[in-house]
Amino acid sequence: MKILVAEDDPVTRLLTQRTLQKFGYEVVVAKNGIEALDILSQSDGPRLALIDWMMPLLDGPALCRQVRARKNNDSYVYIVLLTSKQGSDDVVEGLEAGADDYITKPFQPAELKARLRTGLRILSLEENLVKAREEMRFGATHDTLTTLWNRGAILSLVQAELLRSSREKKPCSLLLCDIDHFKRINDNHGHLAGDLVLKEIARRLTASVRGYDSVGRFGGEEFLIVLGNCGNGCIEPRAETIRAAVAGTAFSIENRNLDVTMSIGGLICEAWKGEPPIEAFLAQADSALYQAKSEGRNRVVFAGQLVGA
């Protein structure tokens, strides 16, 4: 674990550094408060800090206040103030400034070790809470099986992309994709094989689009792809690349090779008035998809440009 020692006295700084290294810490040192603030502001900065109260340029309490005032910082820094002050008013001042704990000089190594262990426990709890929060956030916006955007999230991305498209006067396109004869896969090979096909489809679709495009699971075996800044001259080759990514190579599922294809309904969205007519756009893409199915599947059909009312 990395720890910062901010201490202006070179002798105390060296002794503290050696003590912490014996405890197994990776020690980073600072000679004043400004240097310490710079180190703690780095993306990979220490999350444990032992800070002297009296330092040049920026003292310990002032440093604590600046660290706590930072915005957009997901990593909590556990701060222990090192001080010769023992009055209760001084202790309250340090804690109210943002310190988590304090230890008085001269300190006993065993006490320092115990106080830092408390900090490690707090940081561990904080990491678990952050992890749980991110898992909840991911679960609310992503499909459990494929890890693609779920229906609600991909529709939100459609709206955002359409608004951006209108603002920048650039086209965007939608591709509504459906796996051909998916029911046969489930019936002939089982639902586990069907799930594996869905996962592989998701992987291939994601690998076939640009980094700023979006892929979501729209329904059971339906997928919706949002292609930003893509209009005439772009949508056809992009859609064909995506179709071929699915159909071009057999799926290896449980030691069996399955030929899987996908039908796609494409639509260029541009030049509408008012709020983006998302339902109308999706209806147009769905009609194109239905036509692709009726014409034999494993193909792309384009609805053409739709101008909303």
Is residue 199 in a domain? yes
Domain match, 243 and 302 both = yes
Query: Which residues touch 216 (CB under 8 Å, ≥6 apart)?
Result: 143, 148, 149, 150, 151, 153, 154, 155, 157, 223, 224, 225, 226
Is residue 6 in a domain? yes
Domain match, 44 and 132 both = yes
Report which of 271, 277, 247 is spatially closest to residue 260, judged by C-alpha positions: 247
Q: What pTM, to 2 d.p., does this model score?
A: 0.67
Q: In CATH, what number is assigned to the domain containing residue 258?
A: 3.30.70.270
Is residue 22 in a domain? yes
Can you give the residue range of the structural domain that contains 95? 2-140
Q: Quick one: pLDDT at residue 172?
A: 92
Domain match, 170 and 125 both = no
Q: Quick one: pLDDT at residue 276?
A: 85
Residue that terminates a domain, selected from 119, 140, 161: 140
Q: What percent of the chain has pLDDT over 70?
A: 95
Q: Report d(CA 207, CA 197) in Å as an integer.
A: 15
Q: Quick one: pLDDT at residue 155?
A: 96
Domain match, 57 and 202 both = no
Domain match, 23 and 52 both = yes
Helix axes 235-247, 191-208, angle to 10 degrees: 140
Residue that terminates a domain, selected from 140, 161, 183: 140
Is residue 163 in a domain? yes
Rg (alpha carbons) of the chain, rounded to whole number: 29
Domain match, 165 and 300 both = yes
- Helix (H) / strand (E) containing 182: helix 182-189
Domain match, 209 and 296 both = yes
Q: What is the largest CA-CA distance in the chain?
A: 85
What's the domain count of the chain? Answer: 2
Q: Which residues of the chain have pLDDT under 50?
A: 305-309
Domain match, 95 and 117 both = yes
Q: Quick one: pLDDT at residue 23?
A: 92
Report which of 34, 43, 31, 103 is spatially closest to residue 66, judged by C-alpha positions: 34
Catalytic (active site) residue 221: yes
Is residue 205 in a domain? yes
Q: Quick one: pLDDT at residue 72?
A: 57
Is residue 145 in a domain? no
Is residue 48 in a domain? yes
Q: Report d(CA 213, CA 158) in Å as an integer.
A: 10
Q: Which of 161, 221, 236, 240 is catalytic?
A: 221
**For residues 198 and 297, is the Cβ–Cβ distance under 8 A?**
no
Q: Quick one: pLDDT at residue 309?
A: 27
Q: In CATH, what number is assigned to the domain containing residue 102?
A: 3.40.50.2300
Domain match, 162 and 285 both = yes
Residue that terminates a domain, selected from 140, 159, 181: 140
Domain match, 122 and 258 both = no
Domain match, 159 and 134 both = no
Domain match, 94 and 31 both = yes
